[in-house]
Chains A and B, each alone.
Chain A
């Protein structure tokens, strides 16, 4: 079978799993997860094969695996649907199915498969409180499979429309999975319920999606095609787009389309100002947070931007002024990176810290693309997927352990609050070590972890091309280290602060095995991107050949996606030193505040008092949710309730209908009356009159001869009288 055909097969096994589980396997939990995991593994094996084939092809950037079918004839041209595997896609195909598969396996243990259904568990009301199996187990795997389909479709798509389809499918699954525990309600009205969080996520990303749609339409309008190869790999088309002015003054077509498409990424990848949905999306089960909101969906936004990079950077060359989309990306990305990391410092919920961390890291990637560091951004995307997934799964394991402890201690505390944890290092060792590796990778612990290499490359590029971006990113890297160490210290170090933490125990193998596998990648994945210019180490890894490419193949491999292979930067010691300092510095600071003297139970956050009102501001996320609620949610609510419902719907539309009905009714009544008096009654009256006359005259017909004779005589006399009068001249 040709490799092109195999590529078509990558997205569809999870889709098949979705339909099979939904239609047939809903009752059997074992069958559901088996179907989901097996078909996901099939997809993973095919993508691994494709990746290795791509890896073995020389100059893969030019000889891509592509296959398309004509789909929609539109006048002169035909819109094609197809698949494309170029180096960027191949890199994505390496990690996306792998992480998805690992998360599928993780979910088996997370949802307590093997336990009996607990009588206390109401379907949809929340995570099983007494360690019973999740009642909606099969549904979870169905949705996860559908989501995997969406992501894989987006990754292998060869045109913007198919990418957008995958984009929207993932949006739907995000909604379904965030609101998975739809029946869960909280006593505190300020705490957002899963149902509300799902709607919020959908609505916020929708704003971005609409703008992205506009961009796609405009692009199609200008070029007549949406295929990547035809637009992005084509110098002429790019030049034409970059020089044609668009509707907006000062922007070329490429600029306007780029900005609109970037708006979609702002929504999907939770950049400022559309970042508000991601922290609240933590209401979903942890595998969902890991997969969707760390490893795959949010990185789809960055992937889309990386894919469209030639368009976004049309008209730019190394060292020259940035195009408007790139400038926007640089500003928003770096701002978001700093902004989110400041909020993460003050959060109490273990998953929320990671959510803000994700927002911050995505900001890194967007900023990297904004300054033209294409390969660095792609590199950080892949390493981030690994260690963020690891961190989320680890936090899920921690929460699982604390819930298990709650089952023993019968306390009613929030199992996700870090201030209720502590000392889990001894209770859950595997989780602790893998979480530590992930945390170090996130902070950029030098040389060993993957995060260091990718972050360092971004910082190096930023230092070379955009110094302001460099300092902002460096500052947020410092904060990243700080809050990561804070998180690790509060969760794992010291003594348990509550009974539940005391009784916590290590999670089953289905949970810990994916953690171990991911931590392996969190270390090794970085080594493939060690720059060749790096002193010592760079030479070493370049000499190890894997087939056509060296061990640190990443730059050369992924760089081949673009028309012009980007040059590797010369080695500069300053950004390297800066990244080591901020990484280690942040970790040390965090350990000093939180880890050296670990917090006792009931002790408040040591930062709260010194920072004072700033701490409150951070803890409340700069009050953005309240601002948006005031600005948008309330006005929309008012608009729909008053204008649309009361005025348009009830007053106008219903009013028209009611009026028509009343008019018809009145007309009907009028006609009824008119008909009664003109058509109905006169014949009745005529009949009655005839009857009356007949009745009156019938009196005469008595049947008696004498009466008849009397009448004869009367008439005869009358006639005689008349005759006489006529004869005598009285009457003429």
Chain B
């Protein structure tokens, strides 16, 4: 058991526990906070995978924007479900069964064959990864078009969200 494995296991364990708490807590604000925790540990995982930009983006975007957005939404819809009843609906056992079955199936499949180990890369690749990412995202030979389309998508989503959620006068 190497250090990286132990580290990975710890991070994985905590992440999964936080995730379980997200989906089972009755108090939704607490669930949201545990969501933030989960997302943070996902960012840690990215770091382990030498994807620094991804980790930073995860923290800034997911935690800083999306999780906040979720908390805002909870706040805006709170009056109805204030400290209220069960948060588990009537089909939870079937859902649990399905989820468990899905996991078992996928995990079984994944264990069936051998997977490659971590390839070694020199530091230059890792250090230059952000630069390479930026170059790829903006060069016409690279992925500028998907990038632009993603921006348009975001714009559209923004406009759409405002349109949908805006007060009708």
Indicate whether A714 reaches chain B with its CB closer than 8 angstroms.
Answer: yes
Chain B residues lying within 8 Å of A714, measured Cβ to Cβ, are: 98
A721 interface neighbour in B94, B95, B105, Cβ under 8 Å: B105
Chain B residues lying within 8 Å of A53, measured Cβ to Cβ, are: none
Whether A706 contacts B105 by the Cβ 8 Å rule is: no
Whether A717 contacts B91 by the Cβ 8 Å rule is: no
Indicate whether A1 reaches chain B with its CB closer than 8 angstroms.
Answer: no
Interface of chain A residues 674 through 732 with chain B (CB within 8 A): 706-707, 710, 713-714, 716-717, 720-721, 724
Q: A710-B98, A713-B98, A714-B98 are in contact. Are A720 and B91 (CB under 8 A)?
A: no
Whether A710 contacts B105 by the Cβ 8 Å rule is: no
Indicate whether B102 reaches chain A with its CB closer than 8 angstroms.
Answer: yes
A713→B98 CA distance, assembly (Å): 7
Count of chain A residues with a beta carbon within 8 Å of a chain B beta carbon:
10
Whether B94 contacts A710 by the Cβ 8 Å rule is: yes
Whether A713 contacts B89 by the Cβ 8 Å rule is: no
Whether A713 contacts B91 by the Cβ 8 Å rule is: no
Chain A residues lying within 8 Å of B102, measured Cβ to Cβ, are: 713, 716-717
Minimal beta-carbon separation of A371 from chain B (angstroms): 130
Minimal beta-carbon separation of B127 from chain A (angstroms): 41
Chain A residues lying within 8 Å of B101, measured Cβ to Cβ, are: 717
Chain A residues lying within 8 Å of B99, measured Cβ to Cβ, are: 713
Chain A residues lying within 8 Å of B98, measured Cβ to Cβ, are: 710, 713-714, 717
A90→B91 CA distance, assembly (Å): 127
A717→B102 CA distance, assembly (Å): 7
Chain A residues lying within 8 Å of B95, measured Cβ to Cβ, are: 706, 710
Chain A residues lying within 8 Å of B94, measured Cβ to Cβ, are: 710
A710→B89 CA distance, assembly (Å): 13
B89 interface neighbour in A706, A716, A717, A720, Cβ under 8 Å: A706
A223→B140 CA distance, assembly (Å): 136
Minimal beta-carbon separation of B100 from chain A (angstroms): 10
For residue A728, which residue of chain B has the nearest CB?
A: B112
A713→B100 CA distance, assembly (Å): 11
For residue B106, which residue of chain A has the nearest CB?
A: A720
For residue B94, which residue of chain A has the nearest CB?
A: A710
Chain B residues lying within 8 Å of A707, measured Cβ to Cβ, are: 91
Interface of chain B residues 54 through 93 with chain A (CB within 8 A): 89, 91
Minimal beta-carbon separation of B38 from chain A (angstroms): 21
A633→B91 CA distance, assembly (Å): 101
A720→B98 CA distance, assembly (Å): 13
Minimal beta-carbon separation of B129 from chain A (angstroms): 35
For residue A716, which residue of chain B has the nearest CB?
A: B102
A714→B99 CA distance, assembly (Å): 9
Minimal beta-carbon separation of B112 from chain A (angstroms): 9
For residue B89, which residue of chain A has the nearest CB?
A: A706
A716→B98 CA distance, assembly (Å): 10
A724→B91 CA distance, assembly (Å): 27
A714→B91 CA distance, assembly (Å): 13
For residue B97, which residue of chain A has the nearest CB?
A: A714
Chain A residues lying within 8 Å of B89, measured Cβ to Cβ, are: 706
Chain A residues lying within 8 Å of B105, measured Cβ to Cβ, are: 717, 720-721, 724
Minimal beta-carbon separation of A719 from chain B (angstroms): 11
A716→B101 CA distance, assembly (Å): 11
A716→B102 CA distance, assembly (Å): 9
Minimal beta-carbon separation of B1 from chain A (angstroms): 31
A706→B98 CA distance, assembly (Å): 12
Chain B residues lying within 8 Å of A724, measured Cβ to Cβ, are: 105, 109
A724→B105 CA distance, assembly (Å): 9
Minimal beta-carbon separation of A685 from chain B (angstroms): 34
Interface of chain B residues 102 through 149 with chain A (CB within 8 A): 102, 105, 109
Minimal beta-carbon separation of A730 from chain B (angstroms): 14
Chain B residues lying within 8 Å of A720, measured Cβ to Cβ, are: 105
Chain B residues lying within 8 Å of A713, measured Cβ to Cβ, are: 98-99, 102
For residue A712, which residue of chain B has the nearest CB?
A: B98
For residue A720, which residue of chain B has the nearest CB?
A: B105
Minimal beta-carbon separation of A194 from chain B (angstroms): 103
Chain B residues lying within 8 Å of A710, measured Cβ to Cβ, are: 91, 94-95, 98
Minimal beta-carbon separation of B93 from chain A (angstroms): 11
A714→B89 CA distance, assembly (Å): 18
Minimal beta-carbon separation of A713 from chain B (angstroms): 5
Chain A residues lying within 8 Å of B91, measured Cβ to Cβ, are: 706-707, 710
For residue A707, which residue of chain B has the nearest CB?
A: B91
A721→B99 CA distance, assembly (Å): 14
Residue pairs across A and B with Cβ atoms less than 8 A apart, 7 shown, are A706-B89, A707-B91, A710-B94, A710-B98, A714-B98, A721-B105, A724-B105
Closest 9 A/B residue pairs (Cβ): A713-B98, A717-B101, A720-B105, A710-B95, A714-B98, A710-B91, A717-B102, A710-B94, A710-B98
* Residues of B bordering A, CB below 8 Å: 89, 91, 94-95, 98-99, 101-102, 105, 109
- Other A-B pairs beyond A706-B89, A716-B102, 15, CB < 8 Å: A706-B91, A706-B95, A707-B91, A710-B91, A710-B94, A710-B95, A710-B98, A713-B98, A713-B99, A713-B102, A717-B98, A717-B101, A717-B102, A721-B105, A724-B105
